[in-house]
Amino acid sequence: MAKADNITFGQLIDTWAEEELKIGTLSNGTVVTYLQVINRMKQHPVSR
């Protein structure tokens, strides 16, 4: 379980991608699509 102390949204989705996408059962195309969406989300962060 992760704690939300001092972690950014970008770090959170990077951790999720490392832990879940690379070793999962998703097709390569799906993984690439998720990674592209993550990159776009990090380029346009949401404000508090």
H, E, C per residue of the chain: CCCCCCCCHHHHHHHHHHHHHCCCCCCHHHHHHHHHHHHHHHHCCCCC
Q: What is the pLDDT of residue 4?
A: 61
Cα(10)–Cα(7) distance, integer angstroms: 8
Question: Which pLDDT band holds residue 45 (cuts at 50, 70, 90)?
Answer: low
**Residues with Cβ within 8 Å of residue 21, at least 6 apart in sequence:** 31, 34, 35
Q: What is the pLDDT of residue 19?
A: 84
Question: pLDDT tens across 8-38, in order?
Answer: 888 888 888 888 887 667 788 888 898 999 9
pTM of the model: 0.65
For residue 34, count other CB atoms closer than 10 A to its CB: 17
